[in-house]
A and B are shown apart, each in its own frame.
Chain A
Amino acid sequence: MAKLVAVTLALITIASAVPILAHIWVPPADISTHGHLIDEQMSDTMAEAGICFIAAQLILAAFIWMFSNRKPGDKIKNFPGGAKGLVTAAFLLVGTEVLALGFFGTRAWADVFLTPASANSMPVQVQAGQFAFYFRYPGPDGKFGPIHPDKINEASQNIFGLDVDNDPDSKDDIVTAEMGVPMNKEIHLLMHAKDVGHSFYVRELRMQQDFVPGLDLSLHFTATKVGRYEIVCTQLCGLGHYNMKAYLNVMSQPDYDDWLKKQASMQ
């Protein structure tokens, strides 16, 4: 029985490792300027974690095989180095490895969350509410009109609660159901939650950030590849959570200009 356990454990270990080694289960191609740092961090971690996983499971399997069914006369043996060696190894190897990875990963984190958007980034506002994302562009005046929560009304399509009659900054604001951005232009995404917690997640951009009601949060990113990418909600927000999504359209500058003009004409 022990030998069967050992073999089964070894097979499970190999079967688990194969899909990773074969690069079957990988994030989609990165379309951002910062994403490669996250991908490198993930690869380094996968390599180290993979070695630890395979080594630990196979050694466990090997020892189960070797030390069951002891023969008469076999003495109990200590692992070479004993506890001291193992504890020292744990501190030195694992401690160094995890702290090194943690340290080197700070750059990827800092690039996303600890550096401010640059002064010439393009602002886009996103409002998350049960169960849709809506986007707002400031229009030619470059200013967002104020949000009046008491005026928010989905039935009349006043998603952001704008008062275009009395707020001059709101007059040229452009509200859209899809997010369009020009390629290679830094975007400053201003995040606002209407009701409960939501989250903004675009796999290809390697971006994720919760919307917190009551907090003004923002992200900044630069998309480097034209295409249409899904924005999905990853913070449980109610019964429509599974269906809460929008699209990010990354376009060339001329295509983006045309798109924005068309959106403006539909306001």
Chain B
Amino acid sequence: MHDVSAHLAHHTPPQGFIRKYIFSVDHKVIGKQYYGLGLFAVVIGMVLSWLMRIHLVWPNFAIPGLKWISSAGAPGGIITPEYYLQLMTMHGTLMVFFVLTNVPFAGFGNYFLPIQIGADDMAFPRFNMMSFWVTFVGFCVLFAAFFVGDGPPLSGWTAYAPLSAIPGTGPGQAMGQTLWAISIATFCIGQLLGSLNFITTTLDFRTKGMTLMRMPLCTWAWFITSCIGLLAFAVLLPACILLILDRVAGTSFFIPSNLVVSDQLVNHSGGSPLLWQHLFWFFGHPEVYIAILPAVGIVSHILVNSYRRPLLSHKAVIYCLMAIGFLSFMVWGHHMFVSGMNPFSALVFSFPTLVITIPFTILTLIWIGSLYGSNLQINSASLFALGFISMLVTGGISGFFLAQPSIDIYLHGTYFVVGHFHMVMGVAAIFGMFAGTYFWASKMFGRMMNETLGKIHFWGTFVGTYCIFMPFHYLGLVGNVRRYSAFVDDYLAPLIPVHKFISIAALFTGAVQLIFLYNLTYSRFKGAPAPVNPWNGTSLEWTVPSPPPWDNFGGRHPVVYHDPYQYGIEGSSGDYVMQDSPEQIQTVREDKDLI
């Protein structure tokens, strides 16, 4: 392990407002900055979803204020077909990149990984600061797309070529699409810097006694996520560069010959639209595991705390995370079953896609099996963690349909797909973020969040999200096509009442999130002062003050004596033993995992 004293010599307390809060090298500040950016992005993303849902079922409703943002996209406040797609593109882009990658991974991971392994900071604090500010620049470039020319792109967060590669194919496809590509390329750079940091820190900066197997499960999840991120973003970055070159430099990586747009022959030749899809989805599928694995780790970490007993197998969870990380690079073609790629390869991609069910099933069985015979404690964090299990089961099972190419012939491009990925990413991963917030806000801000408001938030969100996204699956089963700005087809018009139910549920659930925002903001300043260990947790973050000092452990180097989850045994503190406690208390499980 690394000689932390040498590292400490270069790390002095920050002075001044700018160094402390703006251009800070402190991983805790950077983690909060990522969280804050993600929070801002999710609010915008959620508002965009409201606009979409309102337009779908009340298309002639004039939305107050929207015409000031885009007089072309929403004349008189009424959304045009192209503006619907533009809002949809920005919704997906903001949510997948700036929320789901930022908060559970870069946000919580930056804040807690060094503390949980006993380090005083990340391996490369300046790289870390750069990674946030590069990400922030990427966000600003994306946000600017709302206000340029004819607005943001309309090609979806997937930006398939040639629609995304030829500027004349629609409103927003000129400057808007270029800004999108620049934004995402910039985001990739930020993520690559972050991933390098996470990997190096995890491998080299663990304190004495912190073996890999003694790391908490969320630390493992962040570590594996960063390995995935390093490989995946390394493919998306050149893909975006090639797309930019096609758009501005006359290259034809993704544009074949003989295309006619608006009766004009397009002056490109030799490119392959499928190449974009392969590059994008080679990144895109690991990306969705980047979105979910940190939540898996966070939820495991919180569940074991609320169960007050270790999970049935710590090692099985770690091996599952590794298996998922590995398999995530083998399945990208399942997004392309009907894309026109060689149909034999569909069968090849289908196999690992089905196999990835196994580690997820093991995880679910371990979570549920560990709940058996436990001493379940209910609080806001554990409610969202339990809700995560339910959501992941639902979303994972719908994936089982889509993994089979023959069924995908019918379900591809329908609301079934939208229901699937929203359940796993838009709900389950978000539940992981909420669980993490309720669990760790006290440590991050030194003040407790209000538990009553947290429970109300849980109830509204749990029921609300099921009301929104379960019907998506039904709509998909009858072939309701996705990414439509209106339902004019003969068979779609009768489905509008279901869409109305969904839209009302979405607006209700969105309103419930205001309770969370109020709770977070109010508690930040006025919440009850937080003790060091409000949840009787065992891992190292519960050994430092709330909030921790700039160097986390106040100059001392913690020594770890125990596995991370010594719950359910009699220790001097209660029914648990902390990792750094020198008490010689062993459980049956310690160092003798069944698997």
Contact = CB atoms under 8 A, between A and B. Distances in A.
B271 A45 contact: no
B251 interface: no
A79 B259 contact: no
Interface stretch (B5-13, B152-160, B283-291, B527-535): B152-160
A1 interface: yes
Contact of A197 (B263, B273, B312, B374): B273
Contacts of B155: 236
Interface in B366-415: 366, 368-378, 383, 386, 389-390, 393-394, 397-398, 400-401, 403-407, 409-410, 412-414
A109 B346 contact: yes
A145 B54 CA distance: 47
B256 A114 contact: no
Given A27-B478, A95-B358, A105 B405 contact: yes
B378 A94 contact: no
A99 to B, nearest CB: 6
Contacts, number: 307
A219 to B, nearest CB: 10
Contacts of A70: 375-376
B212 interface: no
A213 B263 contact: no
B344 interface: yes
Given A98-B400, A201-B481, A64 B169 contact: no
A263 to B, nearest CB: 22
A112 interface: yes
Given A5-B383, A195-B259, A238-B170, A209 B338 contact: yes
B3 interface: no
Given A214-B257, A214-B273, A243-B488, A79 B376 contact: no
A98 B595 contact: no
Nearest to A111: B406
A226 interface: no
Interface in A105-133: 105-109, 112-114, 129-130
B328 to A, nearest CB: 17
A234 B412 contact: yes
B372 A236 contact: no
B406 A41 contact: yes
A197 to B, nearest CB: 5
A248 interface: no
B258 interface: yes
B565 to A, nearest CB: 12
Interface residues of B, number: 108
B366 A49 contact: no
A38 B386 contact: no
Contacts of A155: 263
A250 B271 CA distance: 37
B432 interface: no
Contacts of A82: 312-313, 594
* Interface size band for A: 35 or more
A208 B413 contact: yes
B40 interface: no
A79 B369 contact: yes
B386 A53 contact: no
B595 A197 contact: no
A201 B377 CA distance: 50
Interface in B155-183: 155-156, 160-163, 166, 169-171
A32 to B, nearest CB: 11
Interface string A150-166: 10111100000100000
B235 to A, nearest CB: 21
Contacts of B249: none
Contact of B409 (A152, A195, A206): A206
A195 B312 contact: no
B93 interface: no
Contact of B316 (A57, A83, A107, A212): A83
Contact of B273 (A76, A106, A154, A213): A213
Given A60-B390, A217-B340, A243-B488, A236 B85 contact: yes
Given A101-B404, A234-B481, A235-B413, A9 B390 contact: yes
Contacts of B322: none
Interface in A193-237: 194-197, 199, 201, 203, 206-215, 217, 230, 232-237
A15 B368 CA distance: 22
Contacts of B364: 56
B372 A77 contact: yes
B361 A94 contact: yes
A196 B169 contact: yes
A21 interface: no
B477 interface: yes
Given A42-B410, A82-B594, A234-B414, A26 B393 contact: no
23 contacts: A27-B478, A60-B386, A60-B393, A67-B372, A75-B373, A77-B372, A79-B370, A82-B312, A83-B369, A90-B365, A94-B357, A102-B351, A109-B347, A112-B409, A114-B343, A195-B259, A201-B413, A206-B409, A212-B340, A213-B273, A234-B412, A239-B82, A239-B485
Interface of B: 80-82, 85, 154-156, 160-163, 166, 169-171, 255-261, 263, 265-266, 271-274, 308-309, 312-313, 316, 338-340, 343-344, 346-347, 350-351, 354-355, 357-358, 361-362, 364-366, 368-378, 383, 386, 389-390, 393-394, 397-398, 400-401, 403-407, 409-410, 412-414, 455, 462-463, 466, 470, 474-475, 477-479, 481-491, 568, 593-595
